[in-house]
């Protein structure tokens, strides 16, 4: 009988520890030196163990931090959320009637004295660097005590815009080079494509990404025009479209790869009057999908060919897991844009400081119009928040903070996914995203998430039902839950009760 190699025997040991919960998803694997010491093996054997477990999907390597148990293993027993029919022709473009529906859900949640709010997509306040930002603001006031009584520049503080431009440009530089002799096509080989860089003059500071999206849509479209959007999509975008008198054309969107490129092409060919396509390439809200680079480039080419604006919402890319970089660099669609068709919108609201309401927009060929619209609508943002954010973002502490935040969110996502897998009935589907603040869940047997919303609200728990993420009748059986808050025993009990409620709904005739 063949003797099992030592490294395979140890790999079995650690697989069993992960399955049993001795090593929790998101937690650090013993270091290579600890494996050598505990099991009396060579460093080479310890490396073989970790590389084997990594190749099998049990572990992920984090730069300068070691190996960690992969979050995706937590919900392994749940099937992923179903893809919509990706080749389906979109429904006809329609004027939206979403505002009343969303407002009703939000009002119900606010009126109730809830114990557990699982409906938001935001981190707990204690996860944000409040002290560092406070210190940065105090330093700024000491250096310039009169800034509170002087108007800020209309386009935004120069130092803040310079920092944002530098980080954007640095973020588009690939970390991992393709193998020597790689035969991939020019379409897929992102590293050979010229990078469109930004300067401070290309950036307009806004009141969060919501104002940036408002400005983008007002710049590229007029009331009555059609905007192609992901389906499902963030309800705030649907409210914005309605407030501007625009029609929405919902495009099927995969929970894994994002908007259907084939469906976009079909829509652009057959639907007159489309003025823009709006997408969230990284950690799409609510599905958590990440668009592959080839899809992003194909989408840009389609918009260029049809002379349609491509509005890129980049709110969440700072929250993408570090391990994703090994598969596909975090490259914005804007970085491929040599024609000015991409209107790039971003924000610090989710990743740094919700209270500052700092966002920005780089609008390509529509930049001058965006700056005029911003000045006419709200004038400039206050100076102190911009300077405090600029000081912190420019320091090495910002990247350390983001690494810690991403690791914390990975653990909380894993714990949340595990709770869904444990408490919800068979047939529940869940796709665990590779980063971000929330999970997108599909209930079994087409059960109503709206009914679950009302049942949960009666017991002081708030969720976000799928029906608010569309203006159609889709996603009634879906819901979004937040992972941005620590997974406390109270949260665990809330998920246990939600699972019971789903079972009760399934038992009704």
Nearest to 167 by CA among 283, 318, 300: 318
Strands (E), 49-134: 59-62, 66-69, 94-95, 116-117
pLDDT of residue 187: 38
In a domain, 17, yes or no: yes
28: phi then psi, degrees, rounded to nearest 5:
-75, 135
Cis peptide preceding 58, ω within 30 of 0: no
pLDDT at 104: 79
Domain final residue, candidates 353, 375, 396: 396
**216/362 Cα distance (integer angstroms):** 9
How much is the pLDDT for 450?
Answer: 94
**Do residues 37 and 166 both lie within one domain?**
no
The pLDDT assigned to 171 comes to 79
Q: What is the dihedral of CA 158, 163, 164, 170, to 10 degrees?
A: 140
Residue 462 domain-assigned? yes
On whether both 372 and 389 belong to a single domain, the answer is: yes
Q: Report the pLDDT value the prediction gives residue 15, as an integer from 0 to 100.
A: 80
Within a domain: 82: no
DSSP 8-state class, residue 1: -
Report the CATH number at residue 15.
Answer: 1.10.10.10
Residue finishing a domain among 396, 412, 437: 396
Q: Is the Cβ–Cβ distance between 276 and 248 less than 8 Å?
A: no
Confidence at residue 330, expressed as pLDDT on a 0 to 100 scale: 83
**481 shares its domain with 332:** no
Whole-angstrom distance, CA of residue 471 vs CA of residue 228: 13
User: How many domains are contained in the chain?
Assistant: 3
Instruction: Say yes or no: 50 and 115 in one domain.
Output: no
Q: Would you state the pLDDT for residue 188?
A: 43
Q: Are residues 378 and 452 in the same domain?
A: no
Token look-up 């944002």 returns: 164
Is 85 within the bounds of a domain?
A: no
Judgement on whether residues 379 and 426 belong to the same structural domain of the protein: no
Distances from the Cα of 497 to the Cα of 118, 119, 420, 494, angstroms? 13, 16, 11, 5
**181 lies in some domain:** no
Same domain, 206 and 223: yes
Residue 226, classed as helix, strand or coil, is strand
**154 and 255 belong to one structural domain:** yes
Q: Is 279 among the domain residues? A: yes
pLDDT by residue, tens only, the chain of 509 residues: 446 678 888 888 888 777 666 777 778 899 998 899 889 999 989 988 988 887 666 788 887 788 888 765 545 568 889 888 776 666 777 766 777 777 777 777 666 667 899 999 999 999 999 999 999 999 999 999 999 999 899 999 999 999 999 999 987 755 433 333 333 333 344 444 567 899 999 999 999 999 999 999 999 999 999 999 999 999 999 999 999 999 999 999 999 999 999 999 999 999 999 999 999 999 999 999 999 999 999 999 999 999 999 999 999 999 999 877 666 678 999 999 999 999 999 999 999 999 999 999 999 999 999 999 999 999 999 999 999 999 999 999 999 999 999 999 998 998 899 899 999 999 999 988 999 999 999 999 999 999 999 999 999 999 999 999 998 878 999 999 999 999 999 999 999 999 999 999 988 54
Q: What pLDDT, on a 0 to 100 scale, did the predictor assign at position 406?
A: 93
The parent domain of residue 203 ranges over 128-172+195-396
Question: Dmax over Cα atoms in the chain, in whole Å?
Answer: 83
Same domain, 305 and 389: yes
Query: pTM for the whole thing?
Result: 0.83
| Same domain, yes or no: 457 and 434 | yes
For helices 6-20 and 43-55, give the axis angle rounded to 10 degrees.
Answer: 50
Per-residue pLDDT, 80: 83
In a domain, 450, yes or no: yes
The C-alpha angle 128, 129, 132, rounded to 5 degrees, equals 165
CATH number for position 242: 3.40.640.10
- Pair 392, 407 in one domain: no
Is 55 contained in some domain?
Answer: yes
Same domain? For 290 and 389 the reply is: yes
Question: Which among 33, 54, 69 is the end of a domain?
Answer: 69
């Amino acid at each position: 009988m063949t003797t099992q190699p030592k490294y395979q025997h140890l790999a079995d040991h650690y697989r069993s520890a992960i399955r049993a919960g001795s090593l929790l998803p998101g937690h650090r694997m013993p270091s290579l030196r600890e494996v050598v010491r505990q099991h009396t093996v060579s460093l080479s054997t310890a490396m073989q163990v970790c590389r084997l477990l990594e190749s099998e999907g049990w572990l992920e390597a984090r730069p300068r931090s070691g190996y960690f148990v992969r979050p995706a293993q937590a919900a392994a027993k749940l099937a992923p959320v179903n893809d919509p029919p990706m080749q389906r022709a979109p429904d006809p473009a329609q004027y939206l009637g979403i505002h009343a529906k969303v407002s009703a859900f939000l009002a119900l949640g606010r009126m109730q004295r809830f114990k557990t709010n699982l409906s938001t997509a935001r981190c707990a306040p204690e996860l944000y660097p409040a002290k560092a930002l406070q210190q940065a603001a105090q330093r700024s006031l000491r250096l310039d005590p009169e800034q509170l009584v002087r108007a800020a520049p209309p386009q935004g503080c120069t130092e803040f815009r310079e920092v944002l431009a530098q980080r954007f440009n640095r973020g588009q530089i690939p970390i991992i080079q393709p193998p020597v002799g790689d035969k991939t096509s020019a379409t897929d080989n992102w590293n050979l494509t010229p990078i469109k860089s930004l300067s401070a003059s290309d950036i307009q500071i806004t009141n969060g990404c919501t104002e940036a999206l408002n400005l983008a849509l007002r710049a590229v479209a007029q009331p009555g025009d059609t905007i192609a959007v992901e389906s499902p999509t963030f309800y705030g975008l649907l409210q914005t479209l309605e407030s501007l008198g625009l029609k929405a054309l919902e495009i099927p969107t995969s929970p894994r790869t994002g908007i259907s490129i084939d469906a976009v092409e079909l829509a652009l060919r057959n639907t007159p009057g489309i003025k823009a396509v709006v997408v969230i390439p990284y950690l799409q809200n609510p599905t958590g999908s990440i668009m592959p680079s080839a899809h992003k480039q194909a989408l840009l080419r389609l918009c260029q060919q049809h002379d349609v604006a491509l509005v890129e919402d980049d709110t969440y890319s700072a929250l993408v897991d570090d391990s994703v970089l090994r598969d596909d660099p975090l490259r914005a669609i804007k970085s491929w844009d040599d024609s000015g068709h991409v209107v790039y919108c971003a924000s610090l609201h989710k990743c740094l400081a919700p209270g500052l309401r700092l966002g920005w927009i780089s609008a390509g060929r529509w930049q001058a119009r965006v700056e005029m619209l911003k000045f006419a609508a709200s004038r400039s943002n206050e100076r102190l928040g911009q300077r405090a954010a600029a000081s912190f973002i420019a320091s090495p502490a910002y990247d350390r903070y983001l690494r810690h935040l991403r690791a914390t969110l990975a653990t909380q996502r894993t714990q949340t996914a595990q709770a869904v897998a444990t408490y919800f009935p068979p047939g529940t589907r869940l796709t665990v995203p590779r980063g971000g603040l929330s999970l997108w869940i599909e209930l079994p047997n087409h059960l109503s998430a709206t009914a679950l919303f009302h049942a949960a609200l009666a017991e002081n728990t708030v969720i976000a039902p799928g029906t608010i993420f569309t203006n159609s009748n889709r996603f009634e059986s879906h819901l979004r839950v937040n992972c941005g808050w620590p997974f406390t025993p109270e949260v665990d009990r809330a998920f246990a009760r939600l699972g019971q409620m789903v079972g009760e709904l399934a038992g009704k005739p």
